[in-house]
Amino acid sequence: MKRFAVVCVIIIFFTLLFAFSFCPKFQTGVVGRINPVSGANMVWIVGGRDSLACAVVNGEFGFETRPGVYKVIIDGIAPYKDEILENVGVRDGQTVDVGEIVLQR
């Protein structure tokens, strides 16, 4: 009887593991890259009264957020200037790539 219970638990475990691992995961967010890589260390997105901050890692950033229209603010490190991208629209299940943002001196 113990062996039967153990086999049932193993079957249930693998069934659940494979059932959830093949489900598509829809993410909604904003991603991008900074050039030069060391030109910024923080990026903000602001939408309405909501705001999120994210660290820049190896020149890249990414946010998972709700659908909406956002302002993306790149906080440049001197001698580089801040950069602002207006009206970045994000739809449900869509990750928007704002591309490479070249910071000016």
Percentage of the chain modeled with pLDDT above 70: 77
* Homologous superfamily of 26-102: Carboxypeptidase-like, regulatory domain (2.60.40.1120)
Task: Tell me the average pLDDT across 60-74.
Answer: 92
Please state, as a whole number, how many other Cβ atoms lie within 10 Å of the Cβ of residue 3: 7
**Distance between CA atoms of residues 45 and 25, nearest Å:** 22
Q: Can you tell me the mean pLDDT for 9-16?
A: 62
For the chain, the average pLDDT equals 84
Tell which wins on pLDDT, 13 or 30: 30
For residue 91, CA distances in Å to 25, 67, 68 come to: 15, 5, 7
The CA distance from 32 to 96, in Å, is 8
Quick one: which of 43, 52, 32 has its CA closest to 77?
A: 43
Residue 19: pLDDT above 90? no
With a pLDDT cut of 90, the percent of the chain lying above it is 58
Q: Write out the two tokens for 45.
A: 């997105």
What pLDDT is recorded for position 27?
Answer: 82
